[in-house]
Amino acid sequence: MTCLLGVIYGSVSVSSSSAADVQYAFDLLHEAVACLLSAVNSDQPTSTPGVLWSMRYTQRFPQPSPISADSFITFNPLSSALILEDNVLDEVREAWKGISGLDVDESQFLKFPKRSSGDDDE
């Protein structure tokens, strides 16, 4: 008997936030996984592999409220992708320069002095 283990990652993007649309997207993923698992062992239909563990979540991004005050820095809304996009750090750098002043040394962006922890072993 051969035991095969694997991990399947799936992601869908739904333009609507209605519960029915989100559920439909999850149902599509479930069907896709079921089709994949049945194809893995198609020569032995009596031993179709199954899912041992599954997790799902919904990620929502609310629309930002416009702020028109000089004491606030606003950033563009984040995308719903599961990655950190490069332009996020560009916006943080521009905010940092604005707060730090005109004569800021840009080579010091995201450079922090070493903190003393009281433990010399680290």
* 32 and 44 inside one domain: yes
Domain housing 7: 1-60
Residues 97-117 pLDDT 10s: 888 877 888 888 888 888 877
Residues 7-33 pLDDT 10s: 777 777 777 777 888 888 888 888 888
Those residues whose C-beta lies under 8 Å from the C-beta of residue 5, and which sit 6 or more positions away, are none
Asked if residue 121 belongs to a domain, the reply is no
Q: Which residue has the tokens 């072993």?
A: 121
Residues 60-103 pLDDT 10s: 666 665 555 667 777 777 776 767 777 888 888 888 888 887 78
Q: How many CB atoms lie under 10 A from the CB of residue 74?
A: 13
* 105 and 83 inside one domain: yes
* 4 and 38 inside one domain: yes
